[in-house]
Structure 1
Amino acid sequence: MFSACAEVAGDHARVTVTGEVDMATADTMIQTALREPARQLTLDLRAVTFFDSAAIHAVVQLAQRFPPGALTVLPSRQVRRVLEISGLGEQGWLDPA
């Protein structure tokens, strides 16, 4: 089951996503992330169990909308693996932990 919810504190938004992010849900993740005006975004994907090419594209779109250093992606093990395989494992927005 997919869910995406946003919490905003000042100019920082935190979007927590759970479940599968794919062609059917990636746009909802983007819309949730951009719903509230924020200068910084933390995209918490630690509870994501499936992440496909549509999800990769969604994260890249978010990275393009925020200036360097304003986006942080907290990946699950599965998300990190997909991003590494796709060549995005060294992006500055990907949390190294």
Structure 2
Amino acid sequence: MDQEGLDPAFSVAGEMHDGRVTVTVTGEVDMATADALFQAATPERAEGATLDLRAVTFFDSAAIHTLIRLAERYPGALEVIPSARVRRILDISGLGDQPWLKPA
């Protein structure tokens, strides 16, 4: 995926297998990068998504909104593996008990 104009510490890579996309994210997910995460997690023909956020160092409201959009797009077929920092932010925001949130 072309990341021109994005924070050089941010990276996102998606890989499709059997109708499911696995997306690995590194760095800061914020207003400038959240759309790149969404695009990587929503390729054509994807029926589910796993987001590996264990290397995410910053997560803001735009990132939270992206997770909500993905949960709506993939009802029952989204898995999010958070970093400790992302987990804390989701807990504070009231999303810590979502079924798509997995242990790190």
Which TM-score tier does this pair reach, normalised by the shorter chain?
over 0.9
CA distance in 1, matches of 2:15, 2:98: 24
Q: Which amino acid aligns with 1:75?
A: P
Is 1:24 equivalent to 2:32 in the alignment?
yes
Following superposition, the deviation at residue 50 of structure 1 comes to: 0.3
Q: Which amino acid aligns with 1:72?
A: E
Structure 2 gap segments, 5+ residues each: 1-8
CA distance in 2, matches of 1:55, 1:45: 11
TM-score (norm: length of structure 1): 0.94
CA distance in 1, matches of 2:19, 2:32: 29
CA distance in 2, matches of 1:35, 1:24: 20
RMSD: 0.9
Alignment coverage as a number of residue pairs: 96
User: Which of the numbers 62, 78, 88 marks the counterpart of 1:71?
Assistant: 78
Structure 1 gap segments, 5+ residues each: none
Counterpart in 1 of 2:95?
88
What is the SS of the residue equivalent to 1:38? coil
Which of structure 1's runs of 4+ aligned residues deviate more than 6 A? none
TM-score (norm: length of structure 2): 0.88
